[in-house]
Structure 1
């Protein structure tokens, strides 16, 4: 595989279309895009989605906001799937590019910044001649695929208009916005105007976990980040995340991570 055939370009113009018919195209569409047209079919409501497109697809992204970038297009050579890093993995990254359908991934809130950082590092490495450049690029691509394949994201196909997938995305967005106030599934169900039972059923069907799992996942992630990367006291972090007392905060982390806040901070 020639690493120099990997390209990244921004979605900047009114129309961005497939200029490279021999490569896979991974389109990450952020805000400001009106639609994507694939094989003469127009799809709207595509913001914050990643599409995996084969070389034989005719596609174009239509922008409505010309003042800012609306994401990135990552062009990958067909030989990418033969690289040992991807070929030997028994998870679904490779199937994202090998699928007979057109995979669409709705990024979970909070993951967007990580994906953007990965693509920016890829773009930077592609423009340099640093030692071990190829290994670093392959490693970043692998990380990108793993994030896309993660349970935290909602995977579907381009033609999917599943109401449950839409609800789960709104639920995850609500968790991201309200986690410091609410920790219970019923509270989020009330915000979303659905029953707790239906919300649980939807999350289980779309992601394979229950709704409470997503709330716990977000609390643990934010707790770990604050403990490791801020100077706030354990007491301050616990109260900021909506825990009723430092003791309950410690109990929560011990139960779900096996370690105390102090141990996480020292690790």
Structure 2
């Protein structure tokens, strides 16, 4: 795993803001929290809860007056969530519903200590130099999400749209894997053995966005990450992402973000 694929931090300050723009955030809130604010909507009475937040969401956690930790924020990138050890978990079905209702999972009584122990072990391992620590971290993440699935009923978040939900989930999984090669909806429709029209119909019904926007979202997410955290030139990044030229990459990026790649890199 890359060094920035997983990051964990405790909720210890009066206000904890989102730190990693391109990562999913798992907010485990134990106690002593006034509220969590997501896209300017305030949620109260959230003790002993888990929020699963997509990179598009803006959020912050506000504590009550206390010096003790009241939970953890676990940041995960797509590479981790797509790992074979985690890819079949229901938490990955939740990922496709990032445009709708915020997934909130209430933990059952007695699970809090187990949840805290798992997150503390992940935190400890991330700061260590032990052999096979990546395998240990993935195993702990798997255990954590299995607890979420069993105790928080994650399955209920993925609605019963039947085959259309499966189409969208498979489409997003393919985009995660092949976005460097394929930028057009038609390529993914062909891989799924369906028409582009039906693929777009499924995405519109399940996520209320065009299928093309899923590809654009992935390209922008990976572009931002490469521009901020790699030493590659903009030309190298553009070709890595499958663009035909650096000029077209710059046009694409500025058209969708309002700033140029070089401006983001220097910000």
2:96 counterpart residue number: 98
2:216 counterpart residue number: none
Tell me how far 1:30 sits from its aligned partner: 1.3
What SS does structure 2 have at the residue aligned with 1:86? coil
Deviations 1:117-140 (A, max 9, x none): 100110111011111111111111
Q: Does 1:153 align with 2:152?
A: yes
What SS does structure 1 have at the residue aligned with 2:21? coil
1:217 counterpart residue number: none
What SS does structure 2 have at the residue aligned with 1:65? coil
Q: Does 1:120 align with 2:120?
A: yes
TM-score (ref. length: structure 1): 0.55
1:48 counterpart residue number: 48
CA separation of 1:154 and 1:83: change in aligned 2, threshold 3 A: closer
Q: Distance in 2 between matches of 1:84 and 1:27?
A: 23
Asked if structure 2 preserves the Cα contact closer than 8 Å seen for 1:36 and 1:43, the reply is yes
Runs of 5+ in structure 1 lacking a partner?
Answer: 158-267
1:29-178 correspondence runs (5 A): 29-87=29-87, 89=88, 91-100=89-98, 101-150=101-150, 152-153=151-152
Q: Distance in 1 between matches of 2:4 and 2:81?
A: 16
Tell me how far 1:18 sits from its aligned partner: 0.4
TM-score (ref. length: structure 2): 0.55
Q: Distance in 2 between matches of 1:153 and 1:110?
A: 13
Asked if structure 2 preserves the Cα contact closer than 8 Å seen for 1:26 and 1:74, the reply is yes
RMSD, aligned CA: 1.6
Q: Whose Rg is larger?
A: 1
Aligned length: 154
Tell me how far 1:4 sits from its aligned partner: 4.2
- Say which is worse superposed, 14-23 or 1-10, in terms of deviation: 1-10
Tell me how far 1:5 sits from its aligned partner: 2.9
Tell me how far 1:3 sits from its aligned partner: 4.8
Asked if structure 2 preserves the Cα contact closer than 8 Å seen for 1:108 and 1:154, the reply is no
Deviations 1:14-34 (A, max 9, x none): 110101111111000111100
Tell me how far 1:154 sits from its aligned partner: 5.1
1:10 counterpart residue number: 10
Q: Distance in 1 between matches of 2:96 and 2:128?
A: 30
Asked if structure 1 preserves the Cα contact closer than 8 Å seen for 2:108 and 2:152, the reply is yes
